[in-house]
Structure 1
Amino acid sequence: MHPHGREQTLLPPEAQGGRRPDSTAMMCPYCEAVLANPAAAQCDSCLRPLPGKGAPTLRVQFPTGELKVAAGQSLVLGRDAGQSPVASTFTPYDNVSRRHSTVWLDQQGTAWVRDEGSTNGTFVNGERLPPRVDAPLRDGDQLRLAADVAGNVMLN
C-alpha cells in the first residue's frame, strides 16, 4: 500500500528527497487556511493581504481601460464626470448609471464594491449585488456593471 494523504507528510525529510517542506508558505499567517496559490497577494479565506507583497493595489481591467485603487482610497464608477473621475471608461455604455458603484481598498488591503442603487445592477462573478451593500472582492473575480461592462479584478 502506498502512503497517501496525511501519512505521506509523516515521512522523515530524507525520504522526501532530502528537502523539508516549507509548511508556512502554504498557510495564511492570520487564519491558517491552506493557500491554493502561495504566490497570491491575498488569502482566499479571510481576504487579508499576505505579508511580503508590499502595499496592495486593487486593479480592475475593463475593455475600455484599467482602474487602479491604492489602500485607503475609493473610486466611484459611472458615466458622470462630476461624480466619477474615470467616467470616460464608461461613457460608451448607456446602461451604466451616472453613479453606478464604488470600489475601494481598505487599510487592511481588502477590496470591496458597493452598488450605488444603479438601474441595471452591479455583479460579482455573475451574482447581482443588493443595492448599497458592501461586498468583498477577491483576486480573479469578475466585476460587471449592467449587462455588458465586465472587468477583471486583480490584487497585487
Structure 2
Amino acid sequence: MAPRDARCASCGRPRTHVLLVCAEPCLELRHGPGPPLRIGRDPDWAPRTAAAFADWDKVSRRHASITVEPDGTVWVEEPATGSRNGTFLNGARIAPGVRTPVRDSDRLRLGLRISFAVRVHGPGPGTG
C-alpha cells in the first residue's frame, strides 16, 4: 500500500485539524487540537466568528463549540443552556451539553440557514 499523503487535500496543511466552510456568510475556519473553537455572535465568547455572524439573528450569541483532540477526533457541542435555533449534524439536532462526534464530509448546521461543510484531517477515525 502506498504511504498516505501527510497533507490535507483541502488546504495543504500537514497537521491534524478540522476545516469548516460556510458559503453564506462566506466563512472558512481551520482549527486544530487545543481549546475549543467557539461559534456564535458574542465577541468575548466567540472572537473568531462573532463579526461574521453579527447580522445573523438566527445564530445564538453562544451557539456551539468545536473541539479537535490530538488523536484527530472532532467533537461539536452546544452549550448546556442550548441555542435558540438548534445545532444540527447531518440533519439531526444535537442535544445541548452533549459532545457529539463529527466526521469528515459531515454537514454542520446552525439553525435553519447557516451550513458548514466539514473536512477533517488527521490520524483519527473518519478523517480524510
Q: TM-score range by the shorter chain?
A: 0.7 to 0.9
2:58 to 76, 81, 95: 95
Matched residue type, 1:102 = S
Q: In the alignment, which residue of structure 2 is the partner of 1:131?
A: 96
Provide the TM-score with structure 1 as the length reference.
0.64
Query: Does residue 108 in structure 1 map to residue 110 in structure 2?
Result: no
Q: In the alignment, which residue of structure 1 is the partner of 2:83?
A: 118
Q: Which has the larger strand fraction?
A: 2
1:75 to 37, 41, 58: 37
Q: Which portions of structure 1, spanning 4 or more consecutive aligned residues, are displaced by more than 2 angstroms?
A: none
Q: Which has the larger radius of gyration?
A: 1
- The unaligned stretches of length 5 or more in structure 2 are 8-12, 122-128
How many residues are treated as equivalent by the alignment?
A: 111
2:27 to 53, 65, 72: 65
Matched residue type, 2:19 = R
Report the Cα offset of residue 54 of structure 1: 4.3
Q: Which has the larger helix fraction?
A: 1
Query: Does residue 148 in structure 1 map to residue 113 in structure 2?
Result: yes
Identity %: 35
Provide the TM-score with structure 2 as the length reference.
0.78
